[in-house]
């Protein structure tokens, strides 16, 4: 007896349900990492940080944990640099004659952005401190959608000129600066230096093999760049500038060991120059 159409439909749905229900569940860490990458596609950086934390904590293997950690470290450093730049823009704007009526609000924004930049920097430095002893000669694969970047951000330029901008314009400027800084960090650890277009090309090919030697050197360079906000021209917190340089010194010692095992003349020369500059800075603190 031929089956009726509705009977065939029920059978098909039942088979589909059984197929789906029998499929192995996606591991929590994998789902969290995929969610983080989707967050990044839509520039949801807070969501990405939270999901990367989850991916790191629940990872069942070291390779997955390390990939999530590398991406989270890059993102935290990028946000630190972005907020430093926003703080400096408000500081410059507060000195401008056009900001006379709202200079105090500019200085408040400066303080807020410096505070968040400090938080993100400490997170990034701690991640590298926790991971540096585990770095070896194996590349660290990283696959992520490269952020859109812009050479100029109109709202940021207006802030520097002392012009009051709405919260919507401020947040839009901050978001684009976040993207720009993430593009810069991702390019650097991929071996593309400061060339975002080259970085884009690298990530567009799929997974990028991040060289551990390049990773720790570029992150250290980033820490120094961001940490300069602790100098008297910025937050004037020299004890934190001291801490940044101590972290960098230990990072560079690891980089030197990695380079001894796997030489690279250009990178080695760069590390030696950074070590010499670092020694000069630490001597000022009596080390």
SS3 string of 61-129?
CHHHHHHHHHHHHHHHHHHHHHHHHHHHHHHHHHHCHHHHHHHHHHHHHHHHHHHHHHHHHHHHHHHHH
Residues 40/147, Cβ–Cβ less than 8 Å? yes
Residue 17 has a pLDDT of: 52
Q: What is the mean pLDDT of each run of 10 residues along the chain (287 residues)?
A: 45 48 75 96 97 96 95 98 98 94 96 98 98 95 96 96 96 98 98 96 95 98 98 97 98 98 98 98 95
Q: How far apart are CA 157 and CA 163, in angstroms?
A: 9
Main-chain dihedrals φ then ψ at residue 161, nearest 5 degrees:
-85, 5
Crossing angle for the helix pair 62-95 and 212-227, nearest 10 degrees? 20
- Lookup: tokens for 256: 């030197």
Residue 5 has a pLDDT of: 46
């Amino acid at each position: 007896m031929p089956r009726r159409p509705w009977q065939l439909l029920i059978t098909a749905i039942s088979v589909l349900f059984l197929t789906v229900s029998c499929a192995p569940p996606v591991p929590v860490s994998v789902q969290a990492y995929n969610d983080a990458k989707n967050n990044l596609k839509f520039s949801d950086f807070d969501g990405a940080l939270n999901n990367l934390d989850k991916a790191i904590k629940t990872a069942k293997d070291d390779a997955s944990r390390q990939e999530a950690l590398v991406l989270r470290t890059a993102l935290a450093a990028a946000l630190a640099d972005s907020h430093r730049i926003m703080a400096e823009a408000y500081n410059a704007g507060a000195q401008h004659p056009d900001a006379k009526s709202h200079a105090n609000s500019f200085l408040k924004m400066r303080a807020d952005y410096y505070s968040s930049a400090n938080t993100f920097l400490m997170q990034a430095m701690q991640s590298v401190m926790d991971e540096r002893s585990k770095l070896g000669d194996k590349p660290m694969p990283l696959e992520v959608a490269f952020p859109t970047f812009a050479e100029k951000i109109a709202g940021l330029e207006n802030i520097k000129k002392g012009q009051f901008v709405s919260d919507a314009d401020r947040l839009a400027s901050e978001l684009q600066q976040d993207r720009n800084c993430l593009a810069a960090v991702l390019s650097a650890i991929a071996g593309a230096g400061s060339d975002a277009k080259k970085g884009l090309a690298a990530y567009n090919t799929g997974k990028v093999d991040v060289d551990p030697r390049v990773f720790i050197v570029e992150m250290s360079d980033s820490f120094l760049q961001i940490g300069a906000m602790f100098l008297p021209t910025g937050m004037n917190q020299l004890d934190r500038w001291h801490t940044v340089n101590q972290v960098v010194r230990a990072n560079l010692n690891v980089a030197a060991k990695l380079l001894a095992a796997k030489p690279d003349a250009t990178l080695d020369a760069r590390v030696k120059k950074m070590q010499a500059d670092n020694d000069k800075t630490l001597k000022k603190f009596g080390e």
